[in-house]
A and B are shown apart, each in its own frame.
Chain A
């Protein structure tokens, strides 16, 4: 039997075998393509339209984008401000907690992690609304602050930026804590031992060894917290007032209330673009393989 008869058949067989992964990917990726990618790309088109719902026309309305600072500068500032402060609060709260679980957790590590995530089993809206009770005018927190003079007798924390930030920080804490925990957990303990062997005191060892090596986790946690926080609007609606409106609120109201799709799309797309820009250096640094686990 000559061998030349087989080559084209073998090549065909190899091609068919190579198709299998693509066939597996097809349904899910098609879904994502149609209902995730296309809509977001369409935002660009919609953002350059104008008109009255539902009859928009494409008119290269760049003005829609200009509104970001002419009309909504305040809300943009709110978004950045609240997200930033909340992220810092999360970092301050989460880092020691993650450190505690990673280094002092022992056999209870998994239990403590579950404990960290347990509040998420309670529906988001209900647990966020609890902050209204916690920050109530005569409640424990505000009452104490008033009695020691930090707050005036008529002050209220409800419907202020304080309550909004409190809500955001509360809801995003695990997003900050988990990546930090993962990178602390993976830390090679013998590195710290080596540092102390070389005469470093505990705080020095922390500063020079543990902290730098946990940076990837800190960066990941910060991104995972800041990015969703910037786009959030629910905490404002539940705990704040129109003064605290963030860019997410503007997008929501222009989409659902005012039905001004073009402007909303412009804002939406800008938000998305800024986030992608922030993520590019991160993705470059960590590589694509670890992104989806």
Chain B
């Protein structure tokens, strides 16, 4: 017995840690099926599909006030902030990956700082700035602050992709009569697209899941999904929120799975050609 343990100790340990990682997630999914009428969703009371029904078929999430709006707001915010952040970050990544210039080291450090800064500090300092310039809290302040932390992560993701490309590809294109813009459009952009897309998804996920920055900068009139869940926590979170969380989890998982399958198909196709 001990010999078995010794040999497989590491594997068992790893399995235990993975279980530790997934149990809370599983509980979220499970308690979306909990048969509770009130919002005290901490003890199992039986299985029901009614919350799933109310999210998908009931009007605006079964009339749970604010949940539908909050989800929409989060989606809109994530999409716009990640789109802008991806563009800004990609430009920076192009500069860092393709050119040498003075101040590269400083730029790298400067880009690293947002990732190392506690969200409390970032969120609160931007709030103080908005107060001084007189910009009242709302969707715009939220958008601006989200873009700030997305940029560094985009640079991280895209720069890795750019550095893997042959340095001479752009020169070859210009040698073959493509102008700078044509070179970018037909050579650089298609080749960094996977990295740019991955960066967009990363930014989207970071924005969607953000609580702290939104806590500081959303203001009373705007609510994102995390803010809604937090507020609801005082009164009790309805199982509909679990359902929404589960849907998000499954959909993102599905997107990733499809991406992997699609890429495998591409490689197989190319291998056969």
CA distance in complex: A110, B155 (Å): 23
Q: Smallest distance from the beta carbon of B206 to chain A beta carbons, Å? A: 10
**Contact count A vs B, C-beta below 8 Å:** 253
Determine whether B183 belongs to the interface, using a CB cutoff of 8 Å to chain A: no
CA distance in complex: A132, B106 (Å): 44
| B88 contact set on A, CB distance < 8 A | 27-28, 31
Do the beta carbons of A293 and B120 come within 8 Å of each other? no
Determine whether A152 belongs to the interface, using a CB cutoff of 8 Å to chain B: no
Determine whether A268 belongs to the interface, using a CB cutoff of 8 Å to chain B: yes
Do the beta carbons of A136 and B43 come within 8 Å of each other? yes
Please classify the interface of chain B as helix (H, G, I), strand (E, B), loop, or mixed, using the class held by over half of its residues: helix
A278-293 interface with B by 8 A CB criterion: 279, 283, 288-289, 291-293
Do the beta carbons of B233 and A238 come within 8 Å of each other? yes
From B14, B92, B127, B216, contact of A28 by CB (8 A) = B92
Determine whether A170 belongs to the interface, using a CB cutoff of 8 Å to chain B: yes
| A25 contact set on B, CB distance < 8 A | 91-92, 95, 107
Do the beta carbons of A100 and B13 come within 8 Å of each other? yes
With A25-B91, A227-B118 already in contact, the answer to whether A268 and B11 are too (CB < 8 A) is no
With A97-B13, A134-B24 already in contact, the answer to whether A29 and B110 are too (CB < 8 A) is yes
| B248 contact set on A, CB distance < 8 A | 121-123
Do the beta carbons of A292 and B118 come within 8 Å of each other? no
Determine whether B159 belongs to the interface, using a CB cutoff of 8 Å to chain A: yes
Determine whether A245 belongs to the interface, using a CB cutoff of 8 Å to chain B: no
CA distance in complex: A261, B129 (Å): 11
Do the beta carbons of B211 and A292 come within 8 Å of each other? no
| A256 contact set on B, CB distance < 8 A | 215-216
CA distance in complex: A42, B128 (Å): 8
From A129, A265, A279, contact of B237 by CB (8 A) = A129
| A230 contact set on B, CB distance < 8 A | 118
Do the beta carbons of A248 and B118 come within 8 Å of each other? yes
CA distance in complex: A127, B110 (Å): 32
Do the beta carbons of A133 and B27 come within 8 Å of each other? yes
Q: Smallest distance from the beta carbon of A90 to chain B beta carbons, Å? A: 11
